[in-house]
């Protein structure tokens, strides 16, 4: 199943929104207005958007420390997200979670996670719940390439295969685990590891939102049909350092320049649409302007919002299951 013209336009808007959001977060962090660390998703937009466009409202995702793009692609609002990152009471999590812990259960975004490999077990839990209750929902676990070497990920792959859970494991391989090249950290083939558990697995070009969408659509269909989990090993690019304080000196200027010039998923989609007569340059420029205006408002509102009151420190810690226990 390929993305239609309207689908490509929606993908472009979502990817542009993620890119602009991350550039604004970077600027706010550089100005000292962001408490704590941020891990920017710029360069990987086609992955989050391609995956989430293949999901329904009832499906769920679990994210990583680099989770802003996943949240936006799943429908979280950029205004509350920006406020959350700036530690404001109007934030998605009332300013208490920050960049690495954004969650919005109403959108099926079960949460970002500061623990490498922390997401796959949670996605298995969501998938088990869906299977037990017969909802037909699918869970997606986003992970980085570094997470495949964590025991939690191996255990999740094994469990998902044994129980034939409706879960899709999306491994975003940007080539780097913090400052270490993945070729020095990961042995063998990630796809073959997954196939060793008896599940479907394939490698996907993460610079093509269409290819990511098609691969995810097939994986989701398998999951909904009772055919169990799938792993997608998606090659992508990370434009910034690991986190906002990372000087990124371990990557050469030539490599980073090549990324921006030749391996930018947003430029690739824009070129595909304009050269393929799927959209006029002016129409895409108009989208860019609308997105920029939306982010202007989000940043201004976040800067002006109050921080959480000290009296709220012990609230939102535990869930109340009133009438259920």
Domain ranges (residues) in the chain: 5-297
- Residue 324's pLDDT band, with cuts at 50, 70 and 90, is low
Structure tokens at 33: 């207005």
Angstrom distance (rounded) from CA 190 to CA 187: 8
Kindly report, residue by residue over 241-284, the tens digit of the pLDDT: 999 989 999 999 998 999 999 999 999 999 999 999 999 999 99
What secondary structure letter does DSSP report for 109? B
In DSSP terms, 233 is beta-bridged to 171, 203
What secondary structure letter does DSSP report for 104? B
Q: What is the pTM of this model?
A: 0.95
Q: Answer whether residue 302 shows pLDDT above 70.
A: yes
In DSSP terms, 139 is beta-bridged to 60, 167
Angstrom distance (rounded) from CA 66 to CA 246: 14
CATH among 3.90.1170.20, 3.60.40.10, 3.40.50.970, 3.40.50.11740 for 5-297: 3.40.50.970
Kindly report, residue by residue over 120-151, the tens digit of the pLDDT: 999 999 999 999 999 999 999 999 999 999 99
Contact 229, 161 (CB under 8 A): yes
What does pLDDT average to over the chain? 95
CA dihedral sign of residues 315, 295, 25, 12: positive
Interacting residues of 83 by C-beta distance below 8 A, sequence separation 6+: 89, 90, 91, 92, 95, 298, 301, 302, 305
Q: Answer whether residue 325 shows pLDDT above 60.
A: no
Q: In the block, which residue shows the tokens 């676990």?
A: 141
Q: What share of the chain is helix, strand, coil (3-state, %, to 5)?
A: 50, 10, 40
């Amino acid at each position: 199943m390929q993305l239609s013209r309207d689908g490509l336009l929606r993908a472009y808007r979502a990817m542009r929104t993620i890119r602009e959001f991350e550039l604004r977060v970077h600027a706010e962090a550089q100005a000292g207005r962001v408490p704590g660390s941020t891990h920017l998703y710029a360069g990987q937009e086609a992955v989050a958007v391609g995956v989430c466009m293949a999901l329904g409202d009832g499906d769920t995702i679990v994210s990583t420390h680099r989770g802003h793009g996943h949240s936006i692609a799943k429908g979280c609002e950029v205004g509350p997200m920006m406020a959350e990152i700036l530690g404001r009471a109007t934030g998605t999590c009332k300013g208490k979670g920050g960049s690495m812990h954004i969650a919005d259960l109403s959108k099926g975004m079960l949460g970002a996670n500061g623990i490498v490999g922390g997401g796959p077990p949670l996605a298995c839990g969501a998938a088990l719940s869906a299977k037990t209750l017969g909802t037909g929902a699918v869970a997606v676990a986003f992970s980085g390439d570094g997470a495949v070497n964590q025991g939690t990920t191996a255990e999740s792959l094994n469990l998902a295969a044994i129980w034939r859970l409706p879960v899709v494991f999306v491994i975003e391989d940007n080539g780097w685990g913090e400052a270490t090249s993945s070729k020095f950290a990961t042995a063998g083939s990630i796809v073959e590891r997954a196939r060793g558990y008896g599940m479907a697995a394939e490698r996907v070009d993460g610079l093509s939102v269409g290819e990511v969408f098609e691969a995810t659509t097939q994986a989701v269909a398998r999951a909904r049909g009772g055919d169990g989990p799938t792993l997608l090993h998606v090659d992508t690019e990370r434009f910034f350092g690991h986190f906002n304080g990372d000087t990124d000196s371990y990557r050469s200027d030539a490599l980073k320049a090549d990324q921006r010039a030749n391996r930018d998923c947003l430029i690739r989609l824009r070129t595909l649409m304009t050269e393929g007569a799927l959209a006029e340059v002016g129409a895409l420029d108009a989208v860019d302007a609308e997105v920029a205006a939306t982010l202007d408002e989000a940043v201004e509102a976040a800067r002006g919002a109050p921080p959480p009151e000290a009296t709220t420190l012990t609230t939102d810690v535990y869930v109340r299951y009133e009438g259920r226990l």
